[in-house]
Amino acid sequence: MSTILDGSDDRGGQEPPSDDLAAAEYVLGVLDAGPRLAAESRILTDRAFADLVAGWQRRFAPLTLELRPVEVPSRVWTRIRERLGWPLDEPSVSPAARSLSFWRLAAGVAATVALGLLAVDFVPRWTAPRVSEGQFANAVTTLSRDDGSPGWLATVDARRGTLLMVPVPSAPDAQGRAAELWLIPSGQAPRSLGRVFFDRAHTVAVPATWRADLTDNAVLAISLEPAAGIPHAAPTGPIVAKGAIHL
């Protein structure tokens, strides 16, 4: 039996942990950016893993209530209202329909329409116009932002290994970072598919060796990264949108 101060522990840090330990490490918050992102994408696609995470969240929940509450400056509430697009002088009545949901839906519809137009506009130029090939039946994956609003729509053509990335137009990153697209096959590390844009559609060619990974439940994610050096080996910046492929 080793003491806790030497490094010769039997269950060393090198072996990959079990799924349940991986879930526990995610909840405890000890994972670096890369493994953390991989765990987050797994939660989206792997119900069993999501259940393990929920189990650990339950176990640790009492600790989250241990900290002494801290008074929040009133400016934070003002900014939240601004962020949600609520007029500051409007009383907090409960509307029958949520105007924000409408705008979110509208943005999604607009993007879908844009996607349709683009598909009609561009597909014939990319491929021989053979209707039997069914280019229009390709699956569309929504990459959602953290707040649930759509960020990008990805049309996945697994056979050709292309992704048509259509953004719901948004402001570029204030810090000047670029949007980098990642393919995360279930349980694997993110792989860069290069740069995408905040304001225009763009076709991404997936390297031939990775095309087999464009499968159900693989995750597409977009992070903010320095433009220099794309494609990067691993994401370091914040994930701004993600979604699981459903073919």
Partner 1 sequence: MPRAMELDINERRGERTPLDMLLKDIALGSRQAFEKLYRDSSPRLFAICLRIVSQRSEAEDVLQEVYATVWHKAAQYDVERAGAMSWLAMIARNKAIDRIRSQPQTRKTEPLELAEAVPDPTASPQLDAQASADRVRLDECLNELDERRRSLIRAAFFDGSTYEELAVRIGSPLGTVKSWIRRSLLQLRECLER
Question: Shortest approach of partner 1 to residue 117 CB, angstroms?
Answer: 27
Question: Shortest approach of partner 1 to residue 153 CB, angstroms?
Answer: 18
Question: Shortest approach of partner 1 to residue 137 CB, angstroms?
Answer: 29
Q: Which of 48, 88, 89, 95 binds partner 1 (CB under 8 A)?
A: 95
Contact 86, 98 (CB under 8 A): no
DSSP structure string for 161-205: TEEEEEE---PPPTT-PEEEEEEE-TTS--EEEEEE-SSS-EEEE
Q: Taking CB under 8 A as the rule, does residue 33 contact partner 1?
A: yes
Question: Shortest approach of partner 1 to residue 166 CB, angstroms?
Answer: 21
Q: Taking CB under 8 A as the rule, does residue 66 contact partner 1?
A: yes
Tokens 């694997």 identify what position? 188
Contact 184, 38 (CB under 8 A): yes
**How many residues at the interface with partner 1, by CB under 8 A?**
66
What residues between 154 and 193 interact with partner 1 by CB under 8 A? Answer: none
How far, in Å, CA of 206 to CA of 3, rounded? 49
Please name which of 17, 25, 29, 37 lies closest in space to residue 191, comparing C-alpha atoms.
37
The smaller minimum CB distance to partner 1, of residues 93 and 171, is found at: 93
How far, in Å, CA of 37 to CA of 61, rounded? 22
What number of other Cβ atoms are within 10 A of residue 197's Cβ? 15
Cis peptide before 231 (omega within 30 of 0): yes
The smaller minimum CB distance to partner 1, of residues 134 and 229, is found at: 229
Could you tell me whether strands 178-184 and 191-196 are parallel, antiparallel, or unpaired per DSSP bridges? antiparallel
The smaller minimum CB distance to partner 1, of residues 66 and 89, is found at: 66
Q: Which of 1, 47, 71, 89 binds partner 1 (CB under 8 A)?
A: 71
Question: Shortest approach of partner 1 to residue 164 CB, angstroms?
Answer: 26
How far, in Å, CA of 26 to CA of 200, rounded? 35
**Where on the chain is the footprint of partner 1 (CB under 8 A)?**
4-7, 9, 11-14, 17, 20-21, 24-25, 28-33, 36, 54, 57-73, 75-77, 79-80, 83-84, 86, 92-98, 100-101, 104, 146-149, 224, 236-239
